[in-house]
Amino acid sequence: MAAKRRTVSAKAAASSPMSGEVIGRTARGCQPPGDEGKCAYRPKCRAGGRPRFATVRTMGRGDSPLSGRLVFLVGAPRSGTNWLQRVLAAHPDVQAVPSETHLFSHGIAPLADRVHHGPLTSTKTGRVYMDHDAFLDAARDFCDRLFLGLLEGATEVGYLVERTPTHVHHLDLIGDVYPDAPVVHIIRDGRDVARSLLSQEWGPADIEAAAREWRSAIEDARAAGGRISRYREVRYETLLADPGPAITGLYEWLGLSSSSGIVAAALAEAGARFNVDPAMPAVATGKWRRTWSEAQIEAFDRVAAATIAELGYDPSGEAAPATGVADRGWAGLRRRVRRLARGTRRPLQAARTPSSSSRLRFTLPAEEQQDRFDALVGHIHTGCYERIAPMLADDAEIVVVTGGERSSGRGEAGLAHLTAALETDPVHLGHQERGDVHPASAVCTGVFTYADASGHRTDVALVVHFGAEKVRRIAYYRFPLHRGGKPD
């Protein structure tokens, strides 16, 4: 076994150029004061572009406020990372990062490729020298600021769980930047992973490519795992076959409480179907056996048979006896949830399936809905109100309710009402403390809390109705909705 990764070097903790450094910072998107009081980014910036914070202390690995609190959940795509993240986040002391960040795979790793730690005067094109510990502390500072923003308003949360499957290939870098972070690697039978990958529009072209993708994820994670101080593997099949002990063991490994009520809530979340394969939505093991031909099995084995054997999976498709996995599937999990729920104070309800009538209503794909909602809110936050117009249907209705006043209109007239409200009282330019998004079919609701420089907080709700191509309706509420005094 390779030596475990060091926590933080003495150099990083004590003498790194990033350690304890104090730097200046101006308001988001603003020019420093003195440039005629104008903001280069927003047309309507508070305080004429003056800095919101005078100084900001940089955070390194040695003094990170997220030390030991960030969990990285990785695995080959379609291995159950989403499922396991929801199970973990069912614990009251755990919060989930709301999406795959790709922060290391598409952000920190490419940045690290542009930095070298060799001769200071190296003339290598496309790379620049930076002290190794200084780079890691700078990366940690950036990432901590990003993740801490997600924890605002929930400071009592013990863990934040980040889930990006592609991070499975970057655990060495993650371990360097976050040597204190637990890493959970979920492993699923590669044949089930390959079958599921091939069912996705974005999936690989053939079984051999899917097998290579799964094999490389396993190999990269296990190679890095021996050098990470806290690394744990979880089998998808074990979590499905006997979830109670698997969840309890994982909670205890993280130092979390695992009372029967907490585990029951996690089991209920485990029983909710989400992001499943539409063609075979049942949650079960061995699905590949029902659909693959002999030629397809042979194609997979040419690439990944050795990895299947190394992990203890039987060539027949069932897990080796040592893993204790049985293919009891979805029905068995639901029964165990109900049994455990009887012992809790409040009964748990089984997950509901949509009614036939709800399936007939227009539904916008979740990813597209989130993209369009994020873009709309982004235009509001940056003051780029003119960019909202192309997103609206010609007859889109816009309703604005602020301080007891209600205005509405369609098309350009409606957008004028919204723009006037945003420019008159630009609370959205304040620091965002809450940003909860609640999508449903073709409607997305956002609930926001903003704080200005003095600490005053304002709550805003934004309800957006989407059509197939354009936004059909926007309702903007700024609270309180009464004119003043005590609410009715």
* Candidate from 108-122, 150-164, 441-455 with smallest mean pLDDT: 150-164
Query: Three-state DSSP class for 133?
Result: helix
CA atoms within 13 Å, Cβ hemisphere of 475: 10
Same domain, yes or no, for 340 and 378?
Answer: no
Give the pLDDT score at 180.
95
Give the pLDDT score at 435.
81
pLDDT tens digit sequence for 97-138 = 988 999 999 999 999 999 988 777 777 789 898 888 899 999
Same domain, yes or no, for 233 and 372?
Answer: no
Give the pLDDT score at 91.
94
Q: Would you say 187 and 40 are in contact if contact means Cβ atoms under 8 Å apart? A: no
> Is residue 34 over pLDDT 80?
no
Give the pLDDT score at 149.
84
Which of 353, 384, 402 corresponds to the end of one domain? Answer: 353
pLDDT tens digit sequence for 62-82 = 889 899 999 999 999 999 999
Supply 131's token pair. Answer: 């002290």
Question: Which H or E run contains 180?
Answer: none
Q: Which amino acid is at 245?
A: P
| Integer CA distances (angstroms), 324 to 204, 312, 374, in order | 31, 11, 44
> Is residue 442 over pLDDT 80?
yes
**Residue 257 counted as domain residue:** yes
**Residue 49 counted as domain residue:** no
**Residue 53 counted as domain residue:** no
Q: Which amino acid is at 111?
A: L
Strand partners, 407: 400
Same domain, yes or no, for 471 and 334?
Answer: no
Which of 353, 384, 408 corresponds to the end of one domain? Answer: 353
Among 64, 58, 68, 72, smallest CA distance to 18 is for: 58
Q: What is the mean pLDDT of residues 227-255?
A: 94
Same domain, yes or no, for 406 and 448?
Answer: yes
Q: Would you say 429 and 422 are in contact if contact means Cβ atoms under 8 Å apart? A: no
Sorting pLDDT into bands at 50, 70 and 90, what band is 367?
Answer: confident
pLDDT tens digit sequence for 384-434 = 888 899 999 988 999 999 877 888 888 888 899 899 888 877 777 778 888
Same domain, yes or no, for 327 and 373?
Answer: no
Same domain, yes or no, for 316 and 223?
Answer: yes
Strand runs labelled E in 64-178: 70-74, 94-96, 115-116, 128-129, 159-163
Q: Domain range holding 314? A: 63-353
Which sign, positive or negative, has the C-alpha torsion 56, 450, 393, 418? negative
Q: For residue 438, what is the domain's CATH number?
A: 3.10.450.50
Biggest CA pair distance of the chain: 75
**Residue 28 counted as domain residue:** no
pTM of the complete model: 0.64
Sorting pLDDT into bands at 50, 70 and 90, what band is 152?
Answer: low
Which sign, positive or negative, has the C-alpha torsion 315, 316, 320, 326? positive
Most confident segment among 228-237, 327-336, 434-443? 228-237
Q: For residue 154, what is the domain's CATH number?
A: 3.40.50.300
| Integer CA distances (angstroms), 315 to 215, 216, 243, 286, 486, in order | 16, 19, 24, 11, 70
Query: Three-state DSSP class for 377?
Result: helix
**Residue 260 counted as domain residue:** yes
Q: What is the mean pLDDT of residues 77-93?
A: 93
**Residue 19 counted as domain residue:** no
Query: Three-state DSSP class for 234?
Result: strand
Same domain, yes or no, for 278 and 385?
Answer: no
CA–CA distance, 466 with 441 (Å, rounded to integer): 9
Q: Would you say 105 and 167 are in contact if contact means Cβ atoms under 8 Å apart? A: yes
Which of 353, 378, 400 corresponds to the end of one domain? Answer: 353
Same domain, yes or no, for 273 and 349?
Answer: yes
Q: Which amino acid is at 322?
A: A
**Residue 33 counted as domain residue:** no
Sorting pLDDT into bands at 50, 70 and 90, what band is 90?
Answer: very high
Give the pLDDT score at 484.
56
Same domain, yes or no, for 322 and 405?
Answer: no
Question: Which H or E run contains 475?
Answer: strand 471-478
Same domain, yes or no, for 332 and 399?
Answer: no
What count of other Cβ atoms lies within 10 Å of the Cβ of residue 186? 25
Same domain, yes or no, for 249 and 336?
Answer: yes
Count of the separate structural domains present in the chain? 2
> Is residue 193 over pLDDT 90?
yes
**Residue 5 counted as domain residue:** no
Name the one residue in this structure whose structure tokens are 């890493």: 183
CA–CA distance, 163 with 102 (Å, rounded to integer): 9
> Is residue 251 over pLDDT 90?
yes
Question: Which H or E run contains 222?
Answer: helix 207-225
Same domain, yes or no, for 104 and 168?
Answer: yes
